[in-house]
Amino acid sequence: MTTKIKVTNGMVDMSVGGLGIEASGDIPFVPSRLAVGLELNCGTVNVSMGGVSMVTNNISSNKVIGREELKTPAGTFKCYILEMISEAKMIIKVKSTAKYWYARGLGVVKMENYDEKGKLVSSQVLTEVKGI
């Protein structure tokens, strides 16, 4: 599934497989200087689709947990590994952990999502870079 993300003035617009999704709130950002052990901002992110609120995601932990060189179909990148622990409120509460491999100057090149038992439930990897 193709995902396109556009950030304008702190508002995130995403298109996931043709669906219009918006996220707002305390959207976590990655500072220009990272170091293993660095605690990043937490907060709350609200996600809506077609103007209808779908998920409220409360982030309880957001930190840099490691560094590694990552090989993807788009190339090999020196990455920091970020880990975000959150609780989403939909119909029920769902706790999850997300890991992001962040390449300086490019952004997220790999992402993995785990359920509250630590089981991998989804992953994404960068396959192509255009226009850089």
Instruction: Please give the mean pLDDT across all residues of the chain.
Output: 85
Beta-bridge partners for 106: none
Statement: residue 91 has pLDDT above 60:
yes
Domains of the chain: 3-125 (2.40.360.20)
Statement: residue 10 has pLDDT above 60:
no
* pLDDT confidence of residue 8: 66
What gap in Å lies between CA 57 and CA 25, rounded to an integer? 10
Helices (H), 1-132: none
Summarised one tens digit per residue, pLDDT across range 11-38 is 556 666 666 677 677 777 788 889 999 9
What gap in Å lies between CA 79 and CA 22, rounded to an integer? 27
Q: What is the average per-residue pLDDT within 109-126?
A: 95
pLDDT band, very low/low/confident/very high, at 96 (cuts 50, 70, 90): very high
pLDDT band, very low/low/confident/very high, at 47 (cuts 50, 70, 90): confident
Summarised one tens digit per residue, pLDDT across range 50-84 is 777 777 788 899 999 999 999 999 999 999 999 99
Cβ atoms of residues 6 and 13 within 8 Å? yes
- Beta-sheet strands, E only, within the chain: 3-8, 11-16, 19-25, 43-49, 52-72, 75-89, 93-103, 107-115, 120-125
**Which tokens is 12 given?**
């995130």
* pLDDT confidence of residue 48: 78
